[in-house]
Chain A
Amino acid sequence: MRYFDTNINLSKEDILIRRSAREFAQDVMRPVSRELDAMTAEQVVAPDSPLWGFLKQAYELEFHTIMLPEYYGGQGLSPLQLHIVFEEFGWASFGLSVQLAVVCFPFYIACMTGDEKLIEPFVKPFCECRDGSIRGCWAITEPDHGSDVIAVGEECFYSEKMRGNVQAVLDGDEWVINGQKSSWVSGGTIATHALLHLQIDPSQGFAGGGVCFVPLDRKGVSRGKPLEKIGQRDLNQGEIFFDNVRIPKQWMMVEPDFYEPLLDMILASANLCMASWSTGLARATFEEALTYAKQRIQGGKPLIEHYVMKQRIFELFARTESCRAISRTAIDLNLNISPPHVEYSLWAKTQCTELAFRNSHEAIQIWGGNGLTKEYILEKLFRDARATLIEDGNNETLARHGGHILGETYPRSAERF
């Protein structure tokens, strides 16, 4: 179903990009996501899984490079165009949207360094890849530390008692990495490269962190089993283990002297993605509810002709439009300034995921018993939406972080971009 875009100044290019993303979302992404959703986690990443065909098609259409600059072979989409594409992807499948974003994450951060030693051997081949064989992941989450890793501003974040699950020690010109990431690493079971967060200086707690680029074919890397879960089952997630893994010194892109603010920059980008995909998910649930309300006859007339149902359908529409307004505002701000104002990404993520979840809950209520069955997509949308309240920082933790930033910075100066 098409939607009316309140931005009546979209360019021809914007509209073409939306059409291309929508076709891919409708014809490829959603059907594959429903197939994957019905499989076990092991089957999702098995050699005969439809996941591989999906990735190949996405790479052929260059959707894996939409966040990367044209100079290196990326698509270089504008912030608005990114939002448009992400919304269509979120409409089709939240889990596969995450998969398609994390594949580029290590390469995106590598671009920031401008370091030829990362760009030539890694970023450029990734941009040129058309078969889905080069895939990144964002390895931040740890088995002993859920919210701890983003508890910036809290005493515990700086405590030497806070021992990270992955440690790096410099040995000559190489970093030696040991430890494990949790089973929640998105795309972790199939990734060829990782953007890896680890602890370098335990005396500073998590503030003593670092971020490095790690090809996962290095000696000493192993994986856990893919995780079974209730939502976003089409997104493979799993542990990564590091046993004396050695990487060159220059692949450590972030060290403790600026880990904390850099963590915020990464979090701001990830949360913008979450908010944009949530807009698509909210729209999908609204469309399902509206379509059903027009078809389903109760009390001798379609549901939509019932007084209360008109109100309920409008609420679904209103939440969807709120999602789009919030996420576009945040993306328009934070993808147009560097460094970003993190609180606006946190605002967008927490609000949009809550609104999308409420939509999915309400849509099931409108569908009644049909909404609970596996026959229709609505129950999948509900399960996927539930996961977003915890994913990429649970919303309570993100709100705490936002409050901390407000305490430090509010009101920001208009001159301070």
Chain B
Amino acid sequence: MPVFKDKQLMEEMFGEIWNKMVKETEFGSKLKENGISIYFVVNDPDVVMFVDENGPLFGEEAKSKIPVVTMKMSADNVHKFWLDKLNIPKALALRDIKAKGPVGKVLQVIPLLKPGKAMYPDYCKKFNLPTEV
């Protein structure tokens, strides 16, 4: 059974996380400084998210943007990734994550998301998601 029961749950939760990261951590300024915007294409449930230094966009608004980096993965792998329980080289090698964009920028996304990973368990509690996977 998927961790995220539906699209609305995922959009609501990540809407809050991205906004908090952009407003309260150096995430937004680092994205700008490094010239990075990210487009996530998630399946099961199907969600698309775009994030840059201005915050997140979802759905059609997200699709209209031209990102620097695109990442495709399942929602369950999104969850594992944010809990720091996903082996990135393994996920890439096995195509559990697929990325498009200059490889140097893709490699930068991993450390840039650290502030979000730190706050993610609290959001799991808030939205009743398991932290043991």
Contacts and interface: CB of A to CB of B under 8 A. Distances in A.
A336 B93 contact: no
Contacts of B102: 78-79, 335-336
Contact of A417 (B94, B100, B110): B100
Contact of A261 (B94, B100, B108): B94
B104 to A, nearest CB: 4
A258 B90 contact: yes
Nearest to B70: A417
B103 A253 contact: no
A377 interface: no
B93 A258 contact: yes
Contacts of B95: 261, 339
B89 interface: yes
Interface residues of A, number: 32
A211 to B, nearest CB: 9
Given A71-B111, A76-B108, A338-B106, A112 B101 contact: no
Given A336-B100, A336-B103, A337-B100, A114 B92 contact: no
A404 to B, nearest CB: 17
Nearest to A82: B104
Interface string B65-94: 000000010000000000000011110111
Given A112-B92, A113-B88, A254-B89, A338 B99 contact: yes
Interface string A110-147: 01111000010000000000000000000000000000
Given A70-B108, A112-B88, A335 B93 contact: no
Interface in B107-132: 107-108, 110-112
Contacts, number: 84
Contacts of A79: 102-103
Interface in A251-293: 253-254, 257-258, 261-262, 264-265
A69 interface: yes
Q: Which of A114, A257, A337 has its CB near the most chain B CB atoms (within 10 A)?
A: A114
Contacts of A67: 104
A338 B103 contact: yes
A74 interface: yes
A202 B102 CA distance: 36
A84 to B, nearest CB: 14
Contacts of B34: 70-71, 76
B60 to A, nearest CB: 19
Contacts of B104: 67-70, 74, 76-78
A126 to B, nearest CB: 14
Contacts of B92: 112, 265, 338-339
Contacts of A72: 111
Given A71-B108, A76-B108, A262-B93, A339 B103 contact: no
Nearest to B117: A114
Contacts of A76: 34, 104-105, 108
A69 B106 CA distance: 9
A254 B87 CA distance: 10
B32 interface: no
A112 B108 contact: no
A69 B108 contact: yes
B111 A335 contact: no
Given A74-B104, A338-B98, A338-B103, A114 B111 contact: yes
A113 B84 CA distance: 11
Interface string A195-211: 00000000000000000
Q: Which 6 A-B pairs have the closest CB atoms?
A: A261-B93, A114-B110, A338-B99, A262-B93, A69-B107, A76-B104
19 contacts: A69-B104, A71-B107, A71-B112, A76-B104, A76-B108, A109-B89, A112-B89, A253-B89, A258-B89, A258-B94, A261-B95, A265-B89, A336-B101, A336-B103, A338-B97, A338-B98, A338-B103, A416-B98, A417-B72
Given A74-B104, A261-B94, 10 more contacts: A70-B108, A71-B112, A76-B108, A78-B104, A79-B102, A113-B87, A113-B88, A253-B89, A258-B89, A339-B95
